[in-house]
Structure 1
Amino acid sequence: MVSVGDEAPDFTAPLANGDVAEMTLSDAVARGPVVLAFFPGAFTSVCSHEMESFDDRLDELADAGVTVYGVSIDTPFAQNAFRDELGLGFELVSDSDREIIDAYDIAMDFTALGVHDLAKRAVFVVDEDRTVTYAWVSDDPGVEPDYDEVVEAAQTA
């Protein structure tokens, strides 16, 4: 699993930004630190609350030069509908091929539901050198991160 001090695995993936574009982590961090907020799936109650909570803190993060990206296995088309439904002001990264969650070693299964290789709820703050300066991973998909802690970590990245 990716930990504080590790080089964040680079990736290029579809980006749901109201349209569908492409995002590369190394390009994104060149503009300043990023928060990667992994969530299991769009249109679920805890994931919706988590993304809305990040959206509520977006101004604090933007003032510090930090960009937030939500990351899930949903297609960018589903993610755009999710963004619209919640009125999110940040973009979502589609990892439908599961390469990012594999690189960060945060895959989980909901075996009882027959759903496999979802992202664990996890947050990584990555600085301009692509160094992970904050890492939080939950084995319980019902637990959300400490948003104050994430904002503080992002502001000092």
Structure 2
Amino acid sequence: MISVGDEAPDFTAPLANGDVAEVTLSDAVADGPVVLAFFPGAFTSVCSHEMETFDERLEEFADAGVTVYGVSIDTPFAQNAFREELGLGFGLVSDSNRDIVDAYDIAMDFTALGVHNLAKRAVFVVDEDRTVTYAWVSDDPGVEPDYDEVVAAVQDD
């Protein structure tokens, strides 16, 4: 699993931002640190609350020069519908091939539901050198990150 001090695995993936674009992590961090907020799936209650909470605090991240991205295995089309429903002001990275989830070693299964290789709920702050400066991963998909801690991590960065 990726830890503080590790180099964040680079990736290029579809970005749901109201349209469908592409984002490459190494290009994104050239503009400043990035928060990668992994969530298991769009249109679920805890994931919706998590993304809404990041959106409510978006100004704090922007003030720190940080860009927030949500990351899930959902398609960019589903993510755009999710963004629109919640009114999110940040982009969602589509990892439908599960390459990012695998690279960050945060896959989990909902075996009872027959859904496999979803993202664990996790947050990584990645600086301009692609160094992970904050990492939080939960084995319990019902637990949300400590948002104050994430904001403090980017303000210290």
TM-score by length of structure 1 reads 0.99
User: In the TM superposition, what are the counterparts of 1:79-118 in structure 2 within 5 Å?
Assistant: 79-118=79-118
Aligned to 1:54: 54
How many angstroms apart in 2 are the aligned matches of 1:55 and 1:23?
19
**Who is 1:143 aligned against?**
143
Query: After TM superposition, which residue ranges in structure 1, 4 or more long, deviate above 3 angstroms?
Result: none
Structure 2 CA distance, aligned partners of 1:22 and 1:67? Answer: 15
Alignment of 1:29 with 2:29, yes or no, is yes
The 1-side partners of 2:51 and 2:153 are apart by 18
- Unaligned 5+ segments in structure 2 are none
Structure 1 unaligned segments of length 5 or more: list them.
none
Q: CA deviation at 1:156?
A: 1.8
TM-score if structure 2 supplies the norm length?
0.99
The CA RMSD over aligned residues, in Å, is: 0.4
Aligned-residue offset at 1:72: 0.1
User: Within 2, Cα distance between the matches of 1:58 and 1:146?
Assistant: 15
| Equivalent residues, number | 157
Q: C-alpha distance in 1, partners of 2:67/2:155?
A: 11
- Could you list the per-position Cα deviations for residues 117-156 of structure 1 after superposition, in whole angstroms to 9, with x for gaps in the alignment? 0000000000000000000000000000000000110122
Whether 2:148 is the aligned partner of 1:119: answer no
* % same residue: 89
Deviation, 1:86, is 0.1
Separation in 1 of the partners of 2:155 and 2:16?
25
Q: CA deviation at 1:67?
A: 0.3
- Matches of 1:63 and 1:134 in 2, distance apart? 18
- CA contact 1:107–1:118 (8 Å) conserved in 2: yes
Q: What SS class does the counterpart of residue 8 from structure 2 fall into?
A: coil
Please state whether the residue corresponding to 1:41 is helix, strand or coil: coil
